[in-house]
Amino acid sequence: MKNLMIIIVFSLLIYSCTSSQSTSSNNDLVKNNNTTERENKTSQDTIRIANDELEYEIIIIEIGFDSWLVTQKPINYYSQHTLEFKNNVYVIEWNQRVLQPSIYNSNLYEQRIDYDPTVDYGMEVNYKLYMYFEYFQQKYHQNLR
């Protein structure tokens, strides 16, 4: 198969000490064969980036991520190489934590990420994935480094 389908699904359920409400997050890094135009959509803390040239998209659904993202360094601050390197490090650590549910919270690390460092996902996908890792670390007090 010429094209590789990559799916990332993060589901996060966190219960705060003062409330029984939960927060959920789903991230999908999905190959998209039917995308006809490049688009960015933002609505209610959902960010979608689709790129028909690269045929990959990332969807981040996380309360507060959108407002946090606008306060961060812009995409052109980083090089694609830097983002790919950092994402690879984060993905390796993430996947190790998925395999150790008795040590790491299985509500935070539910599913393995199939990120292939040899695939060129493009700048936007790498930027959004990296920024999500940074947001995740800050919000849930985790250290993926």
Residues 2-19: what's their mean pLDDT?
32
4 domain residue, yes or no: no
For 20-41, what is the mean pLDDT? 40
**Residue 6 belongs to a domain:** no
Residue 57 is assigned to a structural domain of this protein = yes
Beta bridge mates, 75: none
Read off the pLDDT of each residue in 8-37 and give the average, rounded to a whole number.
36
Read off the tokens for 62.
């996380």
Give the range of the structural domain holding residue 41, as residue numbers without chain letter: 14-140
User: Tell me, what DSSP letter sits at residue 53?
Assistant: T
Number of domains in the chain: 1
Q: Could you tell me which residue, 66 or 43, shows the higher pLDDT? A: 66
pLDDT higher at 111 or 35 = 111
Helix, strand, coil distribution of the chain in percent, nearest 5? 30, 20, 50
Match 């981040």 to its residue by tokens: 60
The predicted-structure confidence for 13-22, as pLDDT tens digits, reads as follows: 222 333 333 3
Flag whether 3 is in a domain.
Answer: no
Phi (first) and psi of residue 77, to 5 degrees: -70, -30
Q: Per-residue pLDDT tens for 100-117?
A: 999 999 999 988 888 889
In a domain, 89, yes or no: yes
Mean pLDDT of 119-125: 89
Q: Is residue 63 part of a domain?
A: yes
pTM for the complete prediction? 0.66
